[in-house]
Chains A and B, each alone.
Chain A
């Protein structure tokens, strides 16, 4: 069905962007001269249908730095399988040379040095240029947004998502599905969706009271593209009321609902769909499992877990495509569909190198209009990073941004222990770079950012760590929520990822005394992003800004407090 030859072409597309340069032998100017927009966008248009996938943009209108994870552990059947491969193993798997643009885009090693060479990534004005180029090749290409779009920045927070809505509308998507959008609250989500000029899809978005589908979020939509009848089925994030505050959208229920996904596939096939695409916010492991259980899906455009893969992952007859996050990548998938069958495909994960891809000036202007009322606040410098200090988040355990946030919670809130949510969004800051208020909001902004301080027993802290660890390391992907481990400050522990819930976490230690955590003793714990209604405290961005201002220059000790075994 899918020819091996097409698959090889796909795998080479990114590797060939930019071959053969040894690390450090390219100056920035030379590197960027050698890498051209034409090369990045070069694509031999194929078949009769083109899909364009963006996902998990998290409010990032402007180019940013984004470091990929160094640790991404797979468990059960996913041990050692993509996307749980990082660094040198990832580069070897996909034939990527060290020090190349692809290595910079897709792996973490030498991140800050390569960032100096290859520059920032993303920017929706650059994304627009890529979309326009694909539409020039194929005017009826489908642009599909996997969600987590109306969240994640200062301007997005202060406009209740309107900045992202305005800019995305200008890019003219054909359909979208959802996750963090719902943390705007159901009234605001409903208001935006009612006026959305494209389809808002989610076969698993249900009315909570009656456990029935909603009118506002249809399960699928048909499109005519290249003479092919294409059905796009939406799949929103299944665990929204659990991972995020359900009290903000009490009218809605979600879940994986793969039996209904099968019904929808059968329904669209019965109604003449020749190509069935699932626009998903399940997370990659859940999508892999869903592809093995639901028959008749040709393509799953996968979001949520922020993985960027240079070739589709094939499960049976289903292609699973992962397109990264924060505006860093756009995926293009061309398919040859004949008589209701996919005969072949060509794929490219296009990294948005912001210094190489020409911005679409109309979109730049529109973005700047969204930001203009807030520029004084956005651009205010609140501190800087030390000469050896990169700030990043992605990874199964604490990133340096999280360490900084936990330090701020402990010192500003006078706590023994700090907890910070294991979210996967948030751009990186290079060594010696100014930290602006915008940068801080990029890693903290949300509609439930209150920093609580409460007393917890050692036993309860253990229950929390075990609970979150099971959301990440349960061997059945359907029981995973797709975030990373809760980040901790002031606390060390050992985790065996192979153990069942309740026995993964041992050797919990209070770092300031070196003593073992006593299950019966009470500790002062500061944290933020509680899903509980009525959480009180100052906003996390104010707590961290105050801490950064006191520090001036940020220089963190390496975090060695979490011992991971069973990998």
Chain B
């Protein structure tokens, strides 16, 4: 599907709430943030699509989108940032599309992680490495 910024702005129809996490909520780190989201349940790799650039054009605003059919909520994390948890998308039962899109600031090269809580209570995860580079020597 083509998921655009305009769709993201309109996502309020499908998503009951797109809650930006309060600063410092998961300051203790990525593992702790995931554990808090999953309650310690097992997380399976795959089953959702995380789209991020391989190399960021601008580390200050990196477009990231995630699509997890059947998800009740999706958490996005930037593992190398001082505060890894970026956002959690919550979807109501009538949501036609279980996907979200945002732009995040990445301090350095790092993995971006999406964890989806499925409607059946299981958890799925996808990971993408985004490189933040000073660049400048392409030929």
Q: A interface vs B, CB < 8 Å?
A: 208-212, 237-244, 246, 253-256, 259, 263, 306, 421-425, 463-464, 467-468, 470-471, 474, 476, 478-479, 481-486, 501, 529-531
Contact = CB atoms under 8 A, between A and B. Distances in A.
Interface size class of B (residues with CB under 8 A): 20 to 34
A479 B129 CA distance: 9
Nearest to A423: B139
Contacts of A483: 137-139
Contact of A421 (B129, B131, B136): B136
Nearest to A258: B54
A206 to B, nearest CB: 9
Q: Which label, helix, strand, loop or mixed, suits the secondary structure of the A interface?
A: loop
Contact of B136 (A425, A463, A484, A530): A530
Given A479-B54, A483-B139, A470 B5 contact: no
A110 to B, nearest CB: 25
A218 B14 CA distance: 30
B76 to A, nearest CB: 16
A468 B4 contact: no
Nearest to B57: A241
Nearest to B103: A211
30 contacts: A208-B57, A210-B5, A210-B6, A212-B2, A212-B4, A239-B135, A242-B55, A242-B133, A242-B135, A242-B136, A243-B135, A243-B137, A253-B57, A259-B49, A259-B51, A263-B2, A306-B139, A421-B139, A423-B137, A425-B139, A467-B133, A471-B135, A479-B54, A479-B131, A481-B55, A481-B138, A484-B137, A485-B137, A486-B137, A501-B109
B55 A239 contact: yes
A463 B133 CA distance: 10
A486 B136 CA distance: 9
Nearest to B6: A210
B57 A254 contact: yes
Contacts of B92: none
A211 B137 contact: no
Given A211-B5, A253-B57, A254-B57, A239 B138 contact: yes
Contact of B133 (A208, A211, A240, A470): A470
A405 to B, nearest CB: 14
B80 interface: no
Nearest to A468: B137
A47 B63 CA distance: 44
A244 B134 CA distance: 11
B122 interface: no
Contacts of B63: 211
Nearest to B53: A255
Nearest to A460: B134
Nearest to B133: A467
A472 to B, nearest CB: 9
